[in-house]
Chains A and B, each alone.
Chain A
């Protein structure tokens, strides 16, 4: 069974750093691009970027380039989304997802709350 299991809820202060994770199982981790999607409270879905774990080829949406870092460690079948300095506006649910052809799986989402 394909699963993407994300790390748990985070509560952080502005200026702090954070790295959340997405662990894949039940499929060949290096075969699918993994995307990250943001959903701010009460808002729509925003595509942030994507990584190919086999070679770490990464593409970002211009809206998120320089704001976050997407990475992956294929040895542990895990993708990451990282911030160096969080802002209150980073408060959102973050989803990871894989898709390709008829394949489409999403993680359960990680709620990140940034508040002083």
Chain B
């Protein structure tokens, strides 16, 4: 199985901050990576697919980059509604695998 390692596992930041979350794959996955946001009690929401394509309706402050084994999700200017848990998902090979999640909290 391809292991996805996210870092950090948790972080705190302030409104307006620029934040980057990274995801490392245990082997190359080309650009078959998605990022999800999940708020407590809510269904996960896909933000980014194909490593850098913005899902329709998602604010442009979210961006994704990377290829191969190293990926990142960047929020350019944190908004109050962005405090949530973020997950990466590789879909290059079965079984698909999620990262362990990054909990983003308010500082």
Size category of the binding interface on chain B? 20 to 34
Contact A95 to B43, CB < 8 A, known contacts A45-B38, A59-B95, A102-B56: yes
Bound CA span A20–B56, Å: 30
Per-residue CB contact flags for chain B residues 80-98 toward chain A (1 = under 8 Å, else 0) read: 0000010101010011111
Size category of the binding interface on chain A? 20 to 34
Bound CA span A59–B97, Å: 13
Taking Cβ atoms with an 8 Å cutoff, the residues of A that contact B are: 35, 37, 44-47, 49-50, 59-63, 95, 99, 101-102, 104, 106-109
Write out the residue numbers on chain B whose beta carbons fall within 8 Å of the beta carbon of A109: 43
B44 and A45 within 8 A (CB): yes
Bound CA span A45–B53, Å: 21
Write out the residue numbers on chain B whose beta carbons fall within 8 Å of the beta carbon of A62: 1, 95
A/B interface sample: 26 pairs, CB < 8 A: A37-B44, A44-B100, A44-B101, A45-B36, A45-B44, A45-B98, A46-B98, A47-B89, A47-B95, A47-B96, A47-B98, A49-B95, A59-B94, A61-B94, A61-B95, A61-B96, A63-B95, A99-B46, A99-B91, A101-B49, A102-B55, A104-B34, A104-B49, A106-B44, A106-B45, A107-B43
Tell me the nearest residue of chain A to B95, going by C-beta. Answer: A61
The dominant DSSP class at the A interface is strand
Interface residues of B in 56-107 (CB under 8 A from A): 56, 85, 87, 89, 91, 94-101
